[in-house]
Amino acid sequence: MEVVILPGSKQIGALAADAIEALLRRKPNAILGLATGSSPLPIYDELARRHEQKGLDFSQAHGFALDEYVGLEPGHPESYREVIRREFTNRVNIKPENVHGPDGAAQDILASCQAYEDAMKALGGVDLQILGVGTDGHIGFNEPGSSLASRTRIKTLIEQTRKDNARFFKSIDDVPHHVITQGLGTIMDARHVVLVATGAQKAQAVRDFVEGPVSAICAASVLQLHPHATILIDEAAASSLKLADYYRHTYDNKPEWQGL
């Protein structure tokens, strides 16, 4: 796990976009894992800018959404399929048919989850997975207590997550109780994971998953076991880390050939 502490979200977005641009230039048909929420937005803004101004090409790429609410009507503005379309894929030249998401309206949820796993495998697996992290350490919607080996499945949201997401809805009563999410085992299959966290409200979660024990109570801690996990955080999110100075020193002296 590499921890990179940067001044703010703009620098974080640029560095993550560097990794994605390098991936697309060496592998134009790369598979991107797409997260929602506020954390990835600087990445998507920077990728859209590079597409518009530099011609960064997404025409052969595929995107797989990390999760989706269960029970929202098709086209609901807060469904994650719509959020990803609005915030990212409509702003670049990725083909609409190459953007995939879990089906929160499926009649057979179990079969739908397996089909989603199969679709990722059929295309060779995710090359780079973008992640945020919740205040309780969840990634995707793998809430505390999730199996570290879990696959794509239905999950019940804890009330804190519903409260955190209520800002996107008219009220908390409109936030669904259930979601489909890629499991922790599914996320760990990605060849490169880039997790973004900003703000003091994420400092406890960052400390727990970076420097605490690997445990189901903090789902993101499983990334300590990933062979290529990059953690991009701002100073506020890094404020509780015991080894923050070491992470800064390591990154400042990193050989250029290593990349992100």
Q: Which residue is catalytic, options 45, 46, 67, 189?
A: 67
Rounded CA gap, 199 and 22, in Å?
A: 27
Average pLDDT in the 236-247 region?
98
Q: Is 18 a catalytic residue?
A: no
Give the pLDDT confidence score for residue 103 in this predicted structure: 93
Q: Is 143 a catalytic residue?
A: yes
Q: Is 228 a catalytic residue?
A: no
Distances (CA, A) of 49 to 28, 85, 143: 18, 16, 33
Give the pLDDT confidence score for residue 75 in this predicted structure: 87
Q: Is residue 165 pLDDT above 90, yes or no?
A: no
Q: Would you say 117 and 151 are in contact if contact means Cβ atoms under 8 Å apart?
A: yes
What percent of the chain clears pLDDT 70, i.e. is strictly above it? 100
Q: Is residue 161 pLDDT above 90, yes or no?
A: no
Q: Is residue 164 pLDDT above 90, yes or no?
A: no
Q: Which residue is catalytic, options 68, 103, 127, 143?
A: 143
Rounded CA gap, 104 and 70, in Å?
A: 4
- Say what the pTM is: 0.95
Q: Which residue is catalytic, options 136, 164, 189, 208?
A: 136
Strands of the sheet with 229-234, listed across from one edge: 2-6, 229-234, 192-197, 128-131, 31-34, 62-65, 99-100
Q: Is 73 a catalytic residue?
A: no
Q: Is residue 74 pLDDT above 90, yes or no?
A: no
Question: Measured in Å, how far apart are the chain's first and last C-alpha atoms?
Answer: 11
